[in-house]
């Protein structure tokens, strides 16, 4: 916000565009999801909006210097950005446990890494600790995801082939209670 941190047009423009894209994603989710998930999403969005309005009012009325405003808002935004990059940690744990990247999309990992790299590079040019800290961490976490992907990609192919074979075998051996006590079809 320009009233919090002057001369931040580039960051505001990029984040405003991202905000618009997220609104489209959320709208599509609301249109195509079941009602229970819709209500949960609406509750989360309302809570976030209330938090942002309260934060903006408090900052603009109680804090009178741009430096302190920038520090407070930057710290809160930095925490949110770190949480965004840390969100895939549970999936990374699942990948390690199952030795399969089935639930970790490659392009999400790749673009998370590239996003972290580009924002870290930008923040190093102007040196903005509120941008470099979370995005540096995002770069490391994105790289960790890519390393996990390269480590477990081949074993995922084997696991998926084995699951497919098990499903095909399972379909061939469906229980049939109507056949003279035999549990398999045609036996």
136: in domain: yes
187: in domain: no
Q: Indicate if 101 and 55 belong to the same structural domain.
A: no
pLDDT given for residue 103 in this prediction? 87
pLDDT given for residue 182 in this prediction? 47
Question: Residue 154's Cα: distance from chain center in Å?
Answer: 24
pLDDT given for residue 44 in this prediction? 94
67: in domain: no
* Coil, helix or strand at residue 31: helix
pLDDT given for residue 174 in this prediction? 53
124: in domain: yes
pLDDT given for residue 2 in this prediction? 54
Q: Indicate if 56 and 103 belong to the same structural domain.
A: no
The rounded average pLDDT for each run of 10 residues, N- to C-terminus, in the chain (187 residues) is: 65 88 93 92 94 92 89 90 90 90 91 94 90 94 94 81 74 53 49
Buried b / exposed e across 37-67, counting CB within 10 Å, b at 16+?
eeeeeeeeeeeeeeeeeeeeeebeeebeeee
Q: How many domains does the chain have?
A: 2
Q: Indicate if 30 and 104 belong to the same structural domain.
A: no
Q: Indicate if 154 and 113 belong to the same structural domain.
A: yes
Q: 6 burial class (0-12, 13-18, 19+ CB within 10 angstroms)? A: exposed
Q: Indicate if 53 and 127 belong to the same structural domain.
A: no
156: in domain: yes
pLDDT given for residue 187 in this prediction? 47
CB neighbourhood size of 115 (10 A): 16
25: in domain: yes
pLDDT given for residue 162 in this prediction? 78
CA separation for the pair 106, 102 (Å, rounded): 10
139: in domain: yes
- Domain span at 29: 1-62
pLDDT given for residue 40 in this prediction? 94
pLDDT given for residue 9 in this prediction? 80
182: in domain: no
């Amino acid at each position: 916000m320009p009233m919090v941190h002057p001369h931040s047009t580039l960051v505001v423009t990029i984040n405003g565009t991202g905000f618009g894209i997220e609104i489209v994603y959320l709208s599509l989710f609301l249109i195509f999801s079941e009602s229970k998930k819709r209500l949960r999403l609406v509750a989360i969005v309302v809570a976030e909006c209330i938090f942002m309005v309260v934060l903006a009012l408090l900052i603009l009325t109680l804090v009178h210097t741009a430096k302190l405003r920038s520090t407070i808002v930057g710290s809160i935004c930095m925490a949110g950005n770190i949480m965004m990059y840390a969100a895939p940690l549970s999936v990374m744990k699942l990948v390690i446990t199952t030795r399969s990247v089935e639930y970790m999309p490659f392009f999400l990992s790749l673009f998370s890494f590239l996003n972290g790299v580009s924002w870290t590079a930008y923040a190093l040019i102007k040196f903005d600790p509120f941008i470099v800290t979370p995005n540096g961490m995002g770069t490391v976490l994105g790289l960790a995801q890519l390393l996990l992907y390269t480590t477990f990609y081949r074993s995922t192919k084997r696991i998926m082939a084995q699951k497919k074979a098990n499903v095909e075998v399972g379909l061939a051996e469906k229980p049939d209670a109507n056949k003279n006590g035999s549990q398999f079809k045609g036996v």
